Structure 1
Amino acid sequence: MWFKNARVYRLSAPLSTDLAVWETALAEFKFSPLTAQELVRSGFSFPLHQSIKQYCHALDALLFFAVKRQEKILPAAVINEEMQPRLDALEQEKGRPLSRKEKQALKEELQLSLLPRAFSRSSLTQGYYDAKNQWLVINTSSASKAEDILALLRKALGSLPALPWLDNHKLNTNLQLWLQNKALPQGFELGNDAELKAPDEEGAKVKFSNHLLSADDVQSHLQDKLVTSISLQRNDSLSLQITDDGALKRLKFHDLLTGQNDELGWEDLPARLDADLLLMAQALNQTLLSISQQLAAE
C-alpha cells in the first residue's frame, strides 16, 4: 500500500466524511469483470485487501478507496497478422485498394472478433481523500489515469470540485531555484537526478542521473533550458521526483520509516495495514504541505 507515485488535487469544497455515504456510493459503481465483447472496464474495489470487503476505509481524517481496471490485451502485431489476409482478399474482391475509412472499419471489426479470445489484465490504483487538507491523492504518475479515476469518483459522489494542487507557473519558477539549491521546501535536500528541456521549437533535452546537480555541467543548462523534473530527499522519510506538471514520481519511503511497524507482524492484518497506511499518509502529507507552503510563500 506504500504509494509509488502521486497525482494530487485540491478541493474547492469539502466532501462528505460519512463512511456509510462513501461505502454506498462506491459500491454502486463497483468493479465487475469484462464481458466477452468489452475492451476495458473500471470500477471500485477493496482498497486494503480482498479479504477486507470494504469499498472505503476510514482512518483518522483519511478515506481510502481503490479503482480496479481490467482491459483486454490485443497486441498490434497480432491484429496486423490477422488483418493482412482479410485486407488482401477484400482488395482483390473490389479490384482496388481500400480507403482509409474502410481499413479502419475492417480493423474495428477484427478487434471485436478477437476480443473473446484475448487475455485480460487487471490493475488496482489506490487513493485517499484527506479531509483535513482537502486533498485527493491518487497512486499514479499518469495524468490520464488520474482523470479517469476522478471521473468515476464524480459519478459516484455526484460532485467533485478538484483542481491540480499546485500553481504551474509558481512550480516552474521554483524548479529553477531548487536546481540551484535555493528556496527548497522545508526539510528537503536536493537529490541527484534532474531533467531539463529548452523552451524553443526544437526542445533540446538533457537528463542527469546519479549526478552532482551543483556541478557546473548541470548548472550551465539553466541559461537556456527549463527544469522539467528534479529529485528531492526529505530527511529520513522519503525521496521523490517532482515534475513540472506537479506529479510526484519514484516515491521511495526510507527503510527507517517502512520498518517502524515490523514489530506488529501480520497476524492481525487490518491493524498492520492501518498502521502502515497511517505512516505512509503522514509522511506524504508532510511532503505535500512543505512543497505547497514553499510555493505559497513565493
Structure 2
Amino acid sequence: MSDVDRLQKRFAEIIASDHRHGGQLGIEQRAASLADEALNLQNSGSATQRVRSSLYASAAAFRSSAMWAAIDGRRYDDAKTHMREAQTLAEMSGDQAIKFRIWSHTGTMYRHLGRPADALAANDVARNLFLTRRDPLFASLGLARQGAIQGTAQDRSGMRRTFDQAQEAMLRSDPTEYRPVWMLAFYDQAELDSLALSANLALGDYPTAEYHAHRCLSALRPHMIRSRAIATTRLAHAQLAQGAADAATATAMKVPTDVATHHARVARMLQEFGAALRATAPGSTTAQTWTEHAATWRTTA
C-alpha cells in the first residue's frame, strides 16, 4: 500500500495543478504517464486483492484526470481515448467514486460537444450508482451537472427543478464524511452556482445567470484559478447580453492574461465575447478598448 499512498500524493498534485492551470497538455500527459505507472506496479511481484484494486483505482483516477484535461483543453478525440481506458480501469477496480467521476466527466464532454441526449445518458450512469444514494453530496453533483445539460437542451422547467434538488441534496450532505480528494477539491456551493450560471446562460436567462455568477465568484476558494476565470467570462457574457457593454468589458478584462492565453476554453469564450461586443457596439470606445486589451495577449502569450 506504500506504492498506493505515493500515487495518491501524486494524484493530489495533479488535481492542484488542474485547478491552477486547467486544460494543459502537460497535465494530460503527466496524468496519463502516472496511470501507466500504476498499471506497471500490477506486474511487479505479487499483491493482495486490496492492493490490486487500489492500483486499478489509482490508474483510473489518473486516466480520468487526463480525460478531464483533454476536455478542458478542447482536445475531444484524445478525451474519448482516455475515457475508454478510464472506464475499463474503473470497472476492474470496483471503485464507485471513480466510476462516478468518469461517467460524470463523460456527460460534461458531450455537453461541451453540443450533444445533450448523450450527455444525459452518460450522466445518468453516474447518478444511478449506489454511491449517490449513500452520499447526498455525490447526488448533488450528479443533479447539478444534469441541470447544466438541461440548460443546453433548452429544458427550462426541468433545469429549475433539477437545481432545486441539487441544492437540497447539498444541504443534506454531511461535511465530515470521507470523500476522495478530487471531490473535496472542487465541489461546493460555488461550483453548484457555476453550473447554474452555465445553464441559465445557455437558456438566455441573463439576469439569473448574472445572479449565480456573483454568488459563485464570492464563494470560490483561492486555488480555483481556472474556475474563477470561467465564471468571470460567463459573467461578462451575461452582462453584455443585458446591454451593459461597459460593465461587461470591465468584467472580461479581469481575466488574468496567463489564463486567457493558455486555457483553450477560456480563450474561446473570450473570443466569442469580443465578437458579441463588436456586433453589439460596433465602432464604440468600449469595443476599441477591448480590442486593444486583447491585442496585449498576443504580445505576452
Q: Do both share a fold (TM > 0.5)?
A: no
- Provide the TM-score with structure 1 as the length reference: 0.21
TM-score, normalised relative to structure 2: 0.21
- Indicate the structure (1 or 2) with the bigger Cα radius of gyration: 1
Higher strand share: 1
